[in-house]
Amino acid sequence: MKYSNFFLPTIKDAPSDAEIISHKLMIRAGMIKQSSAGIYSWLPLGLLVLKKIEQIVREEQNNAGAVELLMPTIQSSDLWIKSGRYDDYGKEMLRITDRSGREMLYGPTNEELITDIFQSHINSYKDLPKNLYHIQWKFRDEVRPRFGVMRGREFLMKDNYSFDLDENEAKKSYDNMFKAYIKTFIRMGLTPISLRAETGPIGGNLSHEFQILAKTGESTLYYDKKLETLNPETIDPNKLQSFYAAVDDQHDEKNCPISNEDLKISKGIEVGHIFYFGTKYSDKLNAFVQDKSGKNVPVHMGSYGIGVSRLVGAIIEAYHDEKGIRWPLEVAPFKVSIVNLMPEDQDCATKSLEYYEYFMKNNIEVILDDRICSIGKKLSDNELIGIPYQIIIGKRDLKDNLVEIKNRQNNESEKISSSSLIDFINNKLIK
RNA sequence: CGGGGAGUAGCGCAGCCUGGUAGCGCACCUGGUUUGGGACCAGGGGGUCGAAGGUUCGAAUCCUUUCUCCCCGACCA
C-alpha cells in the first residue's frame, strides 16, 4: 500500500471526548471515527487490525475443532420470549419493530438462536459433541458506553456454543475452549490471566474470565506469577484453573493460598469470558437428543465469548508509548513501513520503490510513505501508527549506501547497508 | 439510572458575565524558500455559533424548551 493512495487521516490533537490512551491513539492514528455514543466507523487502518485479530481468533477456534457459521444481527423476539430473557434483558436490548409490527431485536448475544438451530437438526447423541461459533456484530444498549471501542454499544464478538451429552463431556468442551483462549491471546502478543468468575445474566455454574495485562487496565488482578509465563504448547487447563487468580474485590490477603513471593499484582482488561450453564437453554428451547437408551435428554451447553473489537483497544493499552502505538507483529496492520524522507529525490524514490516492490511481491505487508511533507511529520506519523519495522530512507544516509531500520517495539534503530536490508527484514519476519 | 460538565470552522479553544461587523492556534488551498524531527514567509478558502421558541431596534451572548456528547459512580465482551 502506498500512503499517498491510502486513507489514513492522522491528527495531532485528539478530540476532547477521548479519555483513555487507546481511544485517543485510535482516533489520532485514523483507525476509527465515532458515529454516535459507543458506535464507530472503522477506517482502513483500524479495519486492518480488526481483521487481523478476527483471523487469529478464527484460526484458533478452527484448530480447537469449533465450526464457523454466521447468524443474523437482527433476531425475532419469539425465541427470547421462550427462553424468558426477553423481559430479563431489559433496556440493554435494542428493540426494533418491523413494518408489519413484529417485535425484533438487535442481538446482544446468540444462545437462543444457536440452540434453535441446533435443536432443529440434531436429534441423536451420536452427533455430539458439537461446537459452533460465529464472529458477528452485537449490540448492547449500555447505560454508559465509554473508552472508545473498549466499551462500545456496537461491538464485534466471537461467540461459540458447545453441545454435549452430559456434564462430564461438557467440561471437556469447556477445557478445550479454555486452552484455545489462552493460545489465542498469547498469539496476539498478550499475557492472559484466567480467573474464576461470576456467571452473571448468562447463568450457569462454571465460568472463567480472561484478562490481559496492561498497565492502564481497569481491574486490579492478584495472581500466581506462574500464569505470566505459560507455554502455549503445554497448557493443562485443569492445572491452570487451579492456579490462584482474583480481582481486587475477591482477593483476601489473609486467606490468600499462595506466598507473597509467588503473588503478582497487575492491572488487567477483560477480553474473554467462558461459561458452562448446563441445560438452562436446552430445557426451555427443546434442545434434546436421544441417548443410548432411547431417552430424550437435554444437551449440556457452554458459551464462550471473545471481544474482538475490544481487543483492538486492549492491545493498544498494552502496547503504546508517549509517541503512539507499538503493534505486536501478529496483529500489526502492516509489518513494514518504508519511510521515504525525500520522495522528490530520485535516489530515495528509486530505492524506496525497489524495497516496496520486493515486499509486495513476497507478500510482506508493507506501507510506503511516499507523501511529500515535512520530515518531522512523516517520522512522527509513523511512530503514531506503530508499524513494527520502519525503514527510514533519506538522502544523507543513502549517499553512503545506508538505510535506517527502526524496531518500533523496542524503539531501537540501526543503520545497515542498503543492500542487506532485504535479508535483514526477511530474517526478522520469517521464523 | 444518580451526580457533574460541554456543544462556536476538520481538530483544539477564546468570545457569553456587561447584547452591537464571529475570532485565535493547528489543519486545508496558492506561490515561494526549506529538506534527517511536526520548518519559514506571503496570500487565501471555510461558520445557518447543536436545534426550536421567546425577549429586544438588534442575540453566540439574556430567558424557556429540547437534542447530542463527555466525565465520575452502579453494571458488562
Instruction: Give A69-108 as a DSSP string.
Output: ----SEEESHHHHHHTHHHHTGGGSEEEE-TT--EEEE-S
| Percent with pLDDT over 70 in chain A | 98
Contact flag, residue A16 CB and nucleic strand B, below 7 A: yes
pLDDT at A253 over 90: no
Confidence at residue A338, expressed as pLDDT on a 0 to 100 scale: 98
Average pLDDT over residues A195-218: 81
Report the C-alpha gap between A20 and A122 in whole angstroms.
46
Which tens digits make up the pLDDT trace of A34-78? 999 999 999 999 999 999 999 999 999 999 999 999 999 999 999
- Rg of chain A over Cα atoms, rounded to whole angstroms, equals 24
* Residue type (1 letter), A255: N
Distance A355 CA to B71 C1' (A): 47
Average pLDDT over residues A342-357: 96
Contact flag, residue A414 CB and nucleic strand B, below 7 A: no
Report the C-alpha gap between A307 and A190 in whole angstroms.
14
Model confidence at A17, pLDDT cuts 50, 70, 90, reads confident
Confidence at residue A200, expressed as pLDDT on a 0 to 100 scale: 59
Distance A23 CA to B4 C1' (A): 22
Distance A373 CA to B42 C1' (A): 20
- Short-list A109, A160, A113, CA closest to A133: A160
The three three-digit cell numbers of residue A53, written as one number = 485479530
Contact flag, residue A50 CB and nucleic strand B, below 7 A: no
Confidence at residue A204, expressed as pLDDT on a 0 to 100 scale: 62
pLDDT at A169 over 60: yes
Model confidence at A199, pLDDT cuts 50, 70, 90, reads low
Dihedral pair phi/psi, residue A172, rounded to 5°: -65, -45
The three three-digit cell numbers of residue A18, written as one number = 477521548
Report the C-alpha gap between A282 and A204 in whole angstroms.
12
Confidence at residue A255, expressed as pLDDT on a 0 to 100 scale: 81
The nucleotide lying nearest A140 (C-alpha to C1') is B76
Fold of A334-429: Rossmann fold (3.40.50)
Mean per-residue pLDDT of chain A: 93
Model confidence at A202, pLDDT cuts 50, 70, 90, reads low
Model confidence at A257, pLDDT cuts 50, 70, 90, reads confident
- Protein residue with the closest CA to the C1' atom of nucleotide B77: A307
Contact flag, residue A111 CB and nucleic strand B, below 7 A: no
State yes or no: cis peptide before A15, omega within 30 of 0. Answer: no
| Percent with pLDDT over 90 in chain A | 85
* Residue A16 buriedness (CB in 10 A; 0-12 / 13-18 / 19+): exposed
Dihedral pair phi/psi, residue A234, rounded to 5°: -125, 40
The residues, ordered by sequence, that sit 6+ positions from A338 with a Cβ below 8 Å of its Cβ are A352, A355, A356, A359, A366, A367, A368, A369, A391, A393
The three three-digit cell numbers of residue A50, written as one number = 480488526
The nucleotide lying nearest A397 (C-alpha to C1') is B36
The nucleotide lying nearest A109 (C-alpha to C1') is B77
Report the C-alpha gap between A10 and A27 in whole angstroms.
8
Report the C-alpha gap between A348 and A397 in whole angstroms.
10
Which tens digits make up the pLDDT trace of A303-338? 999 999 999 999 999 999 999 999 999 999 999 999
Contact flag, residue A310 CB and nucleic strand B, below 7 A: yes
Report the C-alpha gap between A409 and A388 in whole angstroms.
6
Confidence at residue A431, expressed as pLDDT on a 0 to 100 scale: 63
CATH dotted code for A3-321: 3.30.930.10
Give the number of other CB atoms < 10 A from CB of residue A41: 11
- Strand locations in A293-335 (E): 296-298, 300-307, 320-321, 324-325
Average pLDDT over residues A220-243: 92
User: Model ipTM?
Assistant: 0.93
Report the C-alpha gap between A264 and A191 in whole angstroms.
13
**Domain layout of chain A by residue ranges:** 3-321, 334-429
- Strand B proximal residues, A:345-384, Cβ < 7 Å: 373-377, 379-381, 383-384
Which tens digits make up the pLDDT trace of A373-416? 999 999 999 999 999 999 999 999 999 999 999 999 999 999 99
The nucleotide lying nearest A399 (C-alpha to C1') is B36
The nucleotide lying nearest A395 (C-alpha to C1') is B36
B chain positions with any atom within 7 Å of a protein CB: 1-2, 11-13, 25-28, 34-39, 68-77
Least confident of A95-99, A247-251, A263-267: A247-251
Residues, chain A: 431
Distance A93 CA to B66 C1' (A): 25
Dihedral pair phi/psi, residue A314, rounded to 5°: -65, -40
The three three-digit cell numbers of residue A121, written as one number = 437438526
What is the four-CA torsion angle of A280, A283, A288, A294, rounded to 10 degrees?
Answer: 110
